[in-house]
Amino acid sequence: MNRIEERFAQLKRTGKKGFIVYIGAGDPNLTATRELALAFDKAGVDILELGVPFSDPLADGLVNQLAAQRGLESKTTPPKLLKMVSGIRKKSEIPIVLYIYFNLIHRIGMEQFIRDASRAGVDGLLVLDLPPEESDNYEALMRRNNLCHIYLVAPTTPEERMEFIVRRGSGFVYYISREGVTGMQSKVASNLASQVSKIRAHTKLPVAVGFGVSNPQQAKLVAQNADAVVVGSAVVNQIAENGKSKDLVKRVGKFVKSLADAVKTV
């Protein structure tokens, strides 16, 4: 098992729900990303998703688009990001997933990128625009390097295709609880419980739910149905508001801990 599988196994043994945080790598810079990662580990985050800055983040709403732009402005590249992950590994074993678009992997070379990611201490990839139908070689390389290949399921995914997707994935299933792009929402999707049940009928993988979870109350509600809760835009928004503050890590860490505490009480 890699760190993602180990963490979910540990959560299952203790009867706890998982908490996953997404932030844009290099926002406002890679030093801050490293410090935030270490703070999140202490705050109760189970898995950290790092968005690799890309010029055309099609799955992202405005908050995460701007984070990607700030990451590009801080000159964050995949090699620099992997070097930063190696730095995190000197102090923390928090599982790390890269949220990435395939063009960045293709540019470097799939075999080399996957090998380098594994060596740096990455535990999984979530490639937004790589469908499982085109992933045979990718999945084989991921297995060879002990990385989890994580796939998305949407509210509009037909059940037959849902079964196909979850059969191909590893680590966990990421269920997008709302149609459209990432972003904060005022309430939790009303059909969440039925959709998660439908996914569970086809897989034993943990189901993580994200897209739209914005505060501790929503996180707690989602945790009642999911194996893990993903919060992204709300945390990224905190980074945007405090990016120039010397208390950035402290302020964002406090917000993240409030989310983690809510999830862990379910």
Closest to 186 measured CA to CA, from 217, 147, 155:
217
Tokens of 251: 């302020």
**Residues 108 and 125 sit within 8 Å (Cβ to Cβ):** no
| Class of residue 231 by CB neighbours under 10 A (exposed 0-12, middle 13-18, buried 19+) | buried
**Residues 150 and 125 sit within 8 Å (Cβ to Cβ):** yes
pLDDT of residue 186: 52
Q: What angle do CA 114, 181, 252 make, to 5 degrees?
A: 75
pLDDT of residue 64: 92
pLDDT of residue 179: 55
pLDDT of residue 193: 92
pLDDT of residue 61: 86
pLDDT of residue 58: 85
Packing angle of the helix pair 110-120, 136-144 (nearest 10 deg): 30
Q: What's the rounded Cα separation, in Å, for the pair 250 and 97?
A: 23
**Residues 10 and 50 sit within 8 Å (Cβ to Cβ):** no
Taking the chain (266 residues) in runs of 10, the rounded mean pLDDT of each run is: 96 98 98 98 98 92 94 98 98 98 97 98 97 96 98 94 97 83 58 94 97 91 96 96 97 98 96
pLDDT of residue 65: 95
pLDDT of residue 191: 84
Domain around 53: 3-264
CATH code of the domain covering residue 14? 3.20.20.70
Sequence-separated contacts (24+) of 255-259 with Cβ below 8 Å: 256/21, 256/39, 256/40, 256/43, 256/44, 256/45, 256/231, 257/43, 257/44, 258/216, 259/19, 259/21, 259/215, 259/216, 259/219, 259/229, 259/231, 259/234, 259/235
Active site residues: 49, 60
What's the total number of domains in the chain?
1
Residues, the chain: 266
